[in-house]
Amino acid sequence: MGFSATILGCAGTELTREEDAFFRDVQPVGFILFARNVEKPLQLAHLVSDLRATAPDAPVFIDQEGGRVQRMRAPYWREWQPPLDMVEALGADASRALYLRSYIIGRELLDCGIDANCGPLADIAQADTHPVLRNRLYGDEAGQVALHARAVADGLRDAGVFPVLKHIPGHGRARLDSHHDLPRVTTDLETLRDTDFAPFQALADLPWGMTAHLVYEAIDPDLPATLSPRMIRVIRDGIGFQGLLMTDDLSMNALPGPVEERAGRARAAGCDIVLHCNGEMEEMRKVVEAAGPLDRDATDRLAAVMRGRPDPVRLDIREVEAEFDALISRDR
């Protein structure tokens, strides 16, 4: 049986019979979890186990960035300040702190069976980056962002968790929230190559990547990157990303048309996998049909990625936490 070219969500804290049967039938590449799926550690571990039973070896993804975007929260898991706030406070210590923080996050995820985190973000913060994104970023200069994003990726991988590079090829110039509107970038191509695209090029070796839902007028004035063959060629040939390329969530309103049309157009543009997050069964059925199975190139990329599944580096978690807390306390 081939894999459906999808990563799918589920509706609640337990897998329903309908979801179980559906996932066993369609075999998605992976699953993604949100706050609606998370209550406490034992419940979460059971849900992850049940999901993986339907599609053996399928990675289970989550967004655990810190700040506003963290699906697992106190009292069972650590709370994290927004990344940009921490970077600005720590200065020269920021990269080390991001590594330690990401290792701790990765260990918390893996303890519940979750083995993929949607990060690092390699978008560059601008003065007018939309507030929904800005303090989730790691800096306002390409070299700094690349350094910090690499630290995040290394921390996750050393914890045994896949990192997911996002939002390729750069979302920092967006002045609108792509959950609701379609941002447009008017910057010239040379500037984009020297700035926005540069951190992604520096991390192009990462196994998973996620597209950006915004228009780059210098490359394709008509289509957002997720749906644009021209932009996917830039991601593959210009930036050099050769890992598995997934869309950002298809349910976001930056994309035109019904969700199944978005899925088909993203696959036709060159995205390997479409991401559908809201867990609505009727939508999922339409998305799976429109996305179709993985093609040969994506199947080969998936096999290579899974052969490189991260092996945990068993650092003493108490020492890691103590070093991180000591770095953070210097700013107080």
CA–CA dist 235, 241 (Å, integer): 6
Residues classed as catalytic = 179, 248
CA–CA dist 222, 207 (Å, integer): 29
* Contact between 120 and 163 (Cβ < 8 Å): yes
CA–CA dist 38, 77 (Å, integer): 11
Q: Which two tokens stand for residue 14?
A: 């337990």
* Contact between 276 and 8 (Cβ < 8 Å): yes
Strand partners, 117: 62, 163
CA–CA dist 218, 199 (Å, integer): 19
Q: What are the distances in angstroms from CA 215 to CA 17, 194, 263, 331?
A: 40, 18, 17, 39
Phi/psi at 259 (5° precision)? -65, -35
Structural element, H or E, at residue 246: strand 244-249
Residue 240 region by backbone torsions, left for phi larger than 0, else alpha for psi between -120 and 50, else beta: left
* Contact between 197 and 238 (Cβ < 8 Å): yes
Q: Which two tokens stand for residue 46?
A: 């059971």
Structural element, H or E, at residue 5: strand 4-8
In this structure, the chain runs to a length of 332
CA–CA dist 270, 135 (Å, integer): 30
3-state SS class at 155: helix
